[in-house]
Amino acid sequence: MSDLTVKQMQAKLDHYVSQYKVGYFPPLSQVARLTEELGELAREVMDKYGEKPKKETETAGSVAEELTDLMISLVIFANSLEIDLAKQFEQNMEKFERRDKNRFERMDKSEEL
């Protein structure tokens, strides 16, 4: 599978949702879904990197899978609100670059990847 652009992801998920009569859920329901997915991601991170590993009775999971579930829920939410994530990403990056220009110590040119 090739690398998808944000626009392609949004289009693919819009096509997926549009095949069902229910369509997009209301915004509050989608925020609840995002919260649920974030909790599942947090549990996987805590298991893999934190101080609270899963019990033997808990199902093994994947940080990558839960992070992607969260991303999919976020893209669906953006679609429902007609937000162009690629465009918004560029606007937010400009804001971060302006606001945080001198916030963190920069690497020397010899240290850059």
User: What is the DSSP code string of 19-58?
Assistant: TSTT-SPPHHHHHHHHHHHHHHHHHHHHHHHSS-PPPTTS
Could you tell me which residue, 101 or 95, shows the higher pLDDT? 95
6-85 placed in CATH 3.40.367.20: no
Q: How confident is the model at residue 107 (pLDDT cuts 50, 70, 90)?
A: confident
**Chain-centroid distance, C-alpha 20:** 23
- Report domain extents, the chain: 6-85
- Interior CA angle at 89 toward 85 and 94, to 5°? 155
Query: Is 80 exceeded by the pLDDT of residue 112?
Result: no
pLDDT tens profile 10-61: 999 999 999 999 999 999 999 999 999 999 999 999 999 999 888 889 888 9
